[in-house]
Amino acid sequence: MPSSPAALSDATTDSLRLRAIATTAFHDHVLPAIHRDMPEVADRIVVTITSSVAYGTADRHSDLDVFVVFRREQDYRRYATALQKLIDGLNLGTVYGAVCDKGVRFELESLARSDLSRLFHHPEKTDNWHRQTEWLLFWFLESVPIHDPGGIHARLKGRAGRWPAPVLASRHEAARTRVATWTHTAQRELAATGYTYTALRAACYAATAALDLAYLTAGRYGPHPKWRHPHADRLLAEHPRALTALENMNRLARALIDLPDSPRAFGAALAEHQAEQAPPDTAATRPWAEALTAAAHRFADQHGVIWVAHDRSPGTRFLTAARTAAAAGEAVYLAEELGGDLLQRPGRSYDQALRIAAPLRWLAGSAPESQAVTRRRWLYLNFVIWRKLRVVAKARRRGHPFTCRWYQLQVIDHLTEARALLAGGQPPPLHRYTRQALSLLSPPWSDLLTTDAILGRLRDLDGYLMWAWGELEDVQQRLVARQLLPAAAVTDPLATQWDVQYWRYENLFV
């Protein structure tokens, strides 16, 4: 798998300009201050330029993110506060504040906080690969190191530069399964409920699963979701089979972007997607119920059964059964889609609480949370809605229409969760978006999720942004009034990012 930053000849002018600025800022200002005041830190860190500047695709809307990453968590805890104070005291904003929207930002992290320490220390453990946040591997390995005396960047690249073959095969089969389960769901919802949020959201899950499948067909790690589709042509260019998979995915993506007036036209796009990406298995597991019962949580109600896998690597028998069951009308989720592998684990830390999706909490019954976890959950939701609304606006400005639509839907998911929590409940799984299950929400929200009102909301992007920012403001006001969110978090959500560690959770269930 190619895993190197964009060559200088391929990088945009903005990328080259911002790389040079970051390198100068570190070596002329930050590193001398470290050698002067905290010399013991210099060899404990790797400093990397990340995101679009590293990928060579930066434009006038890009931020310049430089990460100072400690190899050891105990060093981060010991030195990070003092190091941040040292960097802040350099007043780099006076020199570099105008180079981009937010100036040069040196952000402090550790391998553990970046969800990379398991593979750094134990790449031989298969379970670590199945639990790894994929985009964070891409983020770090494709970054540009500008200070790495301990060889941290090179060492992780050597240990985790590509998927191990068995893990790649397992992930590929899982992505193929998600394409099938969500395509079948979208077709059923379109037929049963019409051109509604449930049909559109299921179709988007099918499209993004197909996008994952394209990257896995190439054996590549996928980047952060906001870059996954815009960068796909470039990152998959050397892999014809992956490009074919991407081309097939793009046809469904186009239907989600265009939202044709006719439900029949949207249904035709789903049917084509099913024929190309999710054809029937030639050796389907029968009976499928036995395989699902052995490897999944079973939740039954008057509407039917929802299956949620126990394990992130459930095996070919289960995945084949899941595809067969979905074709027969069953609702089947893989473990990573809802956090099914964590449901029976003891303890409810903040980390574990956020790795179990709200719909699974609805299915299983909400376990009581500590006040500390609840406080951080609200900080997280406040931050992530604010952040993803900014992605919607930036995706439009950059001409990334599928990313824009995908993030519009994600924002609605998060706002729905916030509204449900404020009402004392949880949002149900998409397969249970009925008026009865959504009765805890006010009529405007339940109407949005159960009628074709969603079409007008999504198509008018200016109106959508005005509405969504207003919805966030209303949620914030209610939270502040109940003393569930500090007013400072409303004024400056960005200041809460280190507390909530959003990068670990924002893309778990998208």
pLDDT > 70 in the chain, percent: 95
pLDDT > 90 in the chain, percent: 82
Stated as kind and residue range, the H or E segment containing 182 is helix 165-193
What is the model's pTM? 0.93
**Higher per-residue confidence, 105 vs 283:** 105
pLDDT for the residue numbered 3: 43
Nearest CA-CA partner of 411 in 352, 368, 342, 461? 461
pLDDT for the residue numbered 58: 80
Give the integer Cα–Cα distance in Å for 395 and 392: 5
For the packed helices 288-295 and 316-327, what is the interaxial angle rounded to 10 degrees?
A: 120
pLDDT for the residue numbered 8: 45
Give the integer Cα–Cα distance in Å for 292 and 259: 35
Give the integer Cα–Cα distance in Å for 164 and 173: 14
Give the integer Cα–Cα distance in Å for 343 and 352: 9
Reported as a pLDDT band with limits 50, 70 and 90, residue 286 is low
pLDDT for the residue numbered 12: 87
Asked if residues 433 and 197 have their Cβ atoms less than 8 Å apart, the reply is yes
- Phi/psi for 161 (5° steps) reads -75, -15
CB within 8 Å of 39: residues ≥ 6 apart: none
The token pair at 380 is 């997280």
Asked if residues 262 and 269 have their Cβ atoms less than 8 Å apart, the reply is no
Q: What is the average pLDDT value for the chain, to the nearest integer?
A: 92
Q: 13-160, what's its fold?
A: Beta Polymerase; domain 2 (3.30.460)
Reported as a pLDDT band with limits 50, 70 and 90, residue 323 is very high
| Beta-strand pair 64-70/104-110 | parallel
The distance between the two most distant Cα atoms of the chain, rounded to a whole number of Å, is 69
| Dihedral sign of CA atoms 468, 470, 476, 482 in order | negative
The token pair at 60 is 């006038």
Question: How are the residues of the chain apportioned to helix, strand and coil, as percentages rounded to the nearest 5?
Answer: 65, 5, 30
Residue reference for tokens 């800022």: 25
In 310-347, DSSP assigns E strands to 331-333
For the packed helices 263-277 and 197-217, what is the interaxial angle rounded to 10 degrees?
A: 30
Query: For the chain, what are the domain ranges?
Result: 13-160, 165-342, 370-504
Reported as a pLDDT band with limits 50, 70 and 90, residue 101 is low
Asked if residues 243 and 225 have their Cβ atoms less than 8 Å apart, the reply is no
| Rg of the chain, C-alpha, whole Å | 23
Give the integer Cα–Cα distance in Å for 328 and 463: 39
pLDDT for the residue numbered 308: 97
For the packed helices 263-277 and 165-193, what is the interaxial angle rounded to 10 degrees?
A: 150
The answer, yes or no, to whether residue 145 has pLDDT greater than 60, is yes
Give the integer Cα–Cα distance in Å for 226 and 229: 7
Query: What is the spatial order of strands in the sheet that 331-333 belongs to?
Result: 296-301, 304-309, 331-333
Mean pLDDT is lowest, of 198-212, 361-375, 463-477, for 361-375
Give SS3 for 285. Answer: coil
The answer, yes or no, to whether residue 112 has pLDDT greater than 60, is yes
Asked if residues 75 and 27 have their Cβ atoms less than 8 Å apart, the reply is no
The answer, yes or no, to whether residue 290 has pLDDT greater than 80, is yes
Asked if residues 237 and 214 have their Cβ atoms less than 8 Å apart, the reply is no
Which neighbouring-strand residues pair with 301? 304
Asked if residues 505 and 355 have their Cβ atoms less than 8 Å apart, the reply is yes
Asked if residues 466 and 459 have their Cβ atoms less than 8 Å apart, the reply is no
Q: Quickly list DSSP for 32-74.
A: HHHHHH-GGGGGGEEEEE-HHHHHT---TT--EEEEEEESSHH
The answer, yes or no, to whether residue 246 has pLDDT greater than 50, is yes
pLDDT for the residue numbered 1: 39
Give the integer Cα–Cα distance in Å for 270 and 254: 11
